[in-house]
Amino acid sequence: MLTEDEKLLQSPKDEATAFTRSDPWRVMRITSEFVEGFDALSDIQKGVTIFGSARTGPDDPMYGAARETARLLAEQGFSILTGAGPGIMEAANRGAQDVKGHSVGCNIELPFEQGANPYVDTLVNFRYFFVRKTMFIKYSNAFIIFPGGFGTLDELFEALTLIQTGKIYQFPVILFGTHYWAGLVRWIGSRMAAEGKISPGDLDLLLLTDDPREAAQAVMDAHEAQTASRVPHDEA
């Protein structure tokens, strides 16, 4: 069974004529998904999205670190957004619930079912990855990236691209777990920056840490600076 993303991106030559002609109507479904997401999340005043592997178990130190980081931020009034799944996502939602914070899950339709973890207060289901990504960007004041796989890297580099190109204002992009991420950061510096593929200053878009308190403080400091500048979130 094809997902909605597969149907949307399927080449016309692979489709029956009648199905090809249905593409304009699919735009209506996409629009409705945006509307549903905006409506469900419109009360978020300040938020942080926490990404990471769905395969991280409760006994993994990173699970505990994600839970603690989310707890610290929720105590300061930040909504905690995740992809609603297990692993790091569950840990972050759980940390928010530990202190009765706002725990948000943006779930995605997958060929294999991914049910929402039990620590989500506000759940929004999406068929399209790009719609869900828009919600993470729109309602976040920071991204905290825990160890993860391709999906985690996708979210990381999309955020960096949007900041680098000035499509969104610069917010903290925090890589949690220096042992896991240090090699990637070294490669970005020694290859991409050294060969002129990015500017040397682009490395400053990233903060590496192993400390939940440092991560939370970086988010709070950036939010205070943004608030002081009096630049509305949507206009920055």
Mean pLDDT of 179-205: 96
pLDDT in the model for residue 85: 96
pLDDT of amino acid 232: 53
Strand locations in the chain (E): 47-51, 79-82, 103-108, 122-126, 142-145, 173-176, 206-209
For 159, phi and psi rounded to 5 degrees?
A: -60, -45
Pairing of strands 142-145, 206-209: unpaired
pLDDT of residue 236: 47
Integer Cα distance of 127 and 129 in angstroms: 7
Do 202 and 164 contact (CB within 8 A), yes or no?
yes
Strand order in the sheet with 47-51: 122-126, 103-108, 79-82, 47-51, 142-145, 173-176, 206-209
Task: Please state which architecture CATH assigns to domain 4-229.
Answer: 3-Layer(aba) Sandwich (3.40)
Residue 234 has pLDDT above 60, yes or no: no
pLDDT digits (tens, 9 = 90+) for 46-94: 999 999 999 999 999 999 999 999 999 999 999 999 999 999 999 999 9
Any idea which of 79-83, 204-208, 225-229 has the lowest mean pLDDT?
A: 225-229
Judged by DSSP in three states, 81 sits in strand
The per-residue pLDDT for 110 is 84
State both tokens at 101. Answer: 């914070």
CB atoms within 10 A of CB 205: 15
Residue 121, pLDDT above cutoff 50: yes
At residue 115 the predicted structure's pLDDT band, cuts being 50, 70 and 90, is: confident
AA identity, residue 163: I
Residue 233 clears pLDDT 70, i.e. is over it: no
Confidence of residue 131 (pLDDT cuts 50, 70, 90): very high
Query: Looking at residue 229, what is its pLDDT?
Result: 82
Is 187 within 8 Å of 157 (Cβ atoms)? no
CB 223 within 8 A of CB 45: no
pLDDT in tens, 137-185: 999 999 999 999 999 999 999 999 999 999 999 999 999 999 999 999 9
Assessment of whether the complete model's pTM goes beyond 0.75 = yes
| Cα gap 233→190, rounded to integer Å | 34
pLDDT at 58: 98
